């Protein structure tokens, strides 16, 4: 191995006591590939096991915490105890390869396709549709329903503990329910759960508190809690960088194991006027947390040198998403001095070689701009 890449391979111990063998993480990515009964499929187990051999930690695709929170076809369920064996099969497949297994837990809110949720009824903080063609107007959640969903995040965390995971990641990013409560676009309430920035933070922080309570009550060994968020929204009104820095400060006080910043590009800068445009979103967030909680960076890191440049900004953890789909042996190739052989484009003939399940492969090929696809004939 080239010595300059050694920082990737230093061990890291989280606040909870969970220790990972290196600083590289598989980012959570939807597979669309679960079984019709919402259990984890054999194809998914093979896909995850292949990509768990090199990284220190794998964050799974999201699992939904209530029936009306399902966000994708082929999403595996975490909303009831009968799903614990399914969840356990995935944790085992990851851990057998030497990586820590983290279950991402979420509720899609107004982003749920109506055909995937009971009675076609989508829900959110307020009865405001997403800004996309044909988006349904969701029902505004009552206070009792909100409390039930908060408890459901805790119950799915308990299932993760019983299934043998090493932690959970609360999905507060990408426009789903936790973010919908924080966003002034989707949260127009004037009660305990909305109406000011402070009140819009209450649901995300209540979810964090409930997950922490459940971990304290049920985990018999170190169990980590992470939180993923998107720094800004394109909508008006929408989440601004200034809003996010207030949330980041509140999250940094919660003694979480890490904050995971959801970005398509690690080096992206704020879209809004706050801050200086010379500073990236990640730099502003790092400055705000001031070492109180580890920050995980992600976004369009393809080569080993790009990863090294990202680490040099001071982030202690780096998640690889699409790159691990394109190159499952990314970590091993760097470790073995073969970083020049890392593939950075996906070949249309490579599905079987890469152990990618059919639904995910179809999505890769038919979602323009998502993956770099080789044009070689």
Residues 70-87 pLDDT 10s: 999 999 999 999 999 999
Alpha helices, DSSP H, located in the chain = 42-51, 84-95, 143-162, 177-182, 197-200, 202-218, 241-252, 281-289, 304-311, 322-326, 330-335, 351-354, 358-365
* CA angle, residues 298, 300, 304, in degrees to nearest 5: 90
The active-site residue out of 48, 165, 176, 258 is: 176
pTM (2 d.p.): 0.97
Rg (CA), the chain: 20
Q: Domain of 288?
A: 3-366
Which of 71-75, 259-263, 276-280, 301-305 is the least confident region?
276-280
How far apart are the C-alpha atoms of 159 and 80, rounded to whole Å? 8
Cβ–Cβ under 8 Å, residues 161 and 222: no
Q: Is residue 145 part of a domain?
A: yes
Cβ–Cβ under 8 Å, residues 293 and 228: no
DSSP state letter for 237: S
Residues 336-360 pLDDT 10s: 999 999 999 999 999 999 999 999 9
Q: Is 165 a catalytic residue?
A: no
Residues 31-69 pLDDT 10s: 999 999 999 999 999 999 999 999 999 999 999 999 999
Task: Specify the DSSP element, H or E, that contains 172.
Answer: strand 167-172
| pLDDT of res. 11 | 98
Query: Domain with 344 in it: what CATH number?
Result: 3.20.20.70
Q: Strand, helix or coil at 329?
A: coil
Q: Is residue 375 part of a domain?
A: no
Q: Model confidence at 277, in pLDDT bands (50, 70, 90)?
A: low
Q: Structure tokens of 320?
A: 């690889």
| pLDDT of res. 278 | 78
Q: Is residue 248 part of a domain?
A: yes
Q: Is residue 212 part of a domain?
A: yes
Q: Model confidence at 377, in pLDDT bands (50, 70, 90)?
A: very low
Cβ–Cβ under 8 Å, residues 98 and 26: no
Q: If you average pLDDT over every residue of the chain, what do you get?
A: 96
Q: Model confidence at 273, in pLDDT bands (50, 70, 90)?
A: low
Q: Is residue 211 part of a domain?
A: yes
Q: Is residue 371 part of a domain?
A: no
How far apart are the C-alpha atoms of 295 and 290, rounded to whole Å? 10
Give me the percent of the chain exceeding a pLDDT of 90.
97
Give how many domains the chain has, as a whole number.
1
Q: Strand, helix or coil at 52?
A: coil
Question: Which residue is it, tokens 């879209």?
Answer: 271
How far apart are the C-alpha atoms of 233 and 243, rounded to whole Å? 11
Q: Is residue 164 part of a domain?
A: yes
How far apart are the C-alpha atoms of 47 and 357, rounded to whole Å? 7
Q: Is residue 373 part of a domain?
A: no
How far apart are the C-alpha atoms of 372 and 358, rounded to whole Å? 18
Paired strand residues for 101: 58
Residues 103-155 pLDDT 10s: 999 999 999 999 999 999 999 999 999 999 999 999 999 999 999 999 999 99
């Amino acid at each position: 191995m080239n010595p300059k890449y050694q920082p990737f391979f230093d061990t890291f111990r989280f606040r909870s006591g969970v220790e990972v063998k290196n600083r590289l993480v598989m980012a959570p990515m939807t597979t669309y590939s679960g079984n019709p009964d919402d259990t984890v499929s054999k194809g998914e187990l093979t896909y995850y096991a292949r990509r768990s051999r090199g990284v220190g930690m794998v964050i799974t695709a999201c699992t939904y915490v209530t029936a009306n929170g399902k966000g994708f076809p082929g999403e595996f369920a975490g909303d009831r105890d009968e799903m614990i064996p399914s969840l356990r099969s995935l944790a085992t497949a990851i851990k057998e390869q030497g990586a820590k297994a983290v279950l991402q837990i979420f509720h899609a809110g107004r982003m749920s396709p109506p055909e995937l949720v009971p009675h076609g009824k989508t829900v959110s903080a307020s009865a405001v549709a997403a800004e996309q063609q044909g988006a349904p107007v969701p029902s505004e959640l009552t206070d009792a329903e909100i409390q039930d969903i908060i408890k459901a995040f805790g119950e799915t965390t308990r299932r993760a503990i019983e299934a043998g995971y090493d932690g959970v990641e609360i999905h507060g990013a990408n426009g789903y329910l936790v973010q919908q409560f924080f966003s002034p676009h989707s949260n127009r309430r004037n009660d305990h759960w909305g109406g000011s920035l402070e009140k819009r933070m209450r649901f995300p922080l209540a979810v964090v508190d409930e997950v922490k309570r459940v971990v304290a009550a049920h985990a018999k060994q170190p169990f980590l809690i992470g939180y993923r968020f998107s720094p800004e929204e394109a909508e008006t009104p929408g989440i601004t960088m200034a809003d996010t820095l207030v949330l980041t400060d509140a999250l940094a006080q919660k003694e979480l194991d890490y904050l995971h910043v959801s970005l398509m590009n690690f080096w992206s800068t704020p879209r809004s006027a706050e801050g200086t445009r010379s500073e990236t979103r990640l730099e502003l967030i790092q400055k705000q947390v001031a070492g109180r909680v580890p920050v995980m960076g992600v976004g369009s890191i393809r080569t080993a040198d790009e990863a090294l440049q990202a680490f040099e900004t001071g982030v202690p953890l780096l998640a690889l998403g699409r790159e691990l789909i394109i190159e499952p042996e990314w970590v091993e190739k760097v470790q073995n001095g073969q970083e020049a052989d890392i593939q950075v484009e996906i070949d249309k003939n490579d599905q079987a070689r890469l152990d990618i399940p059919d639904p995910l492969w179809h999505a890769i090929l038919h979602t323009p701009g998502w993956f770099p696809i080789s044009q070689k004939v």
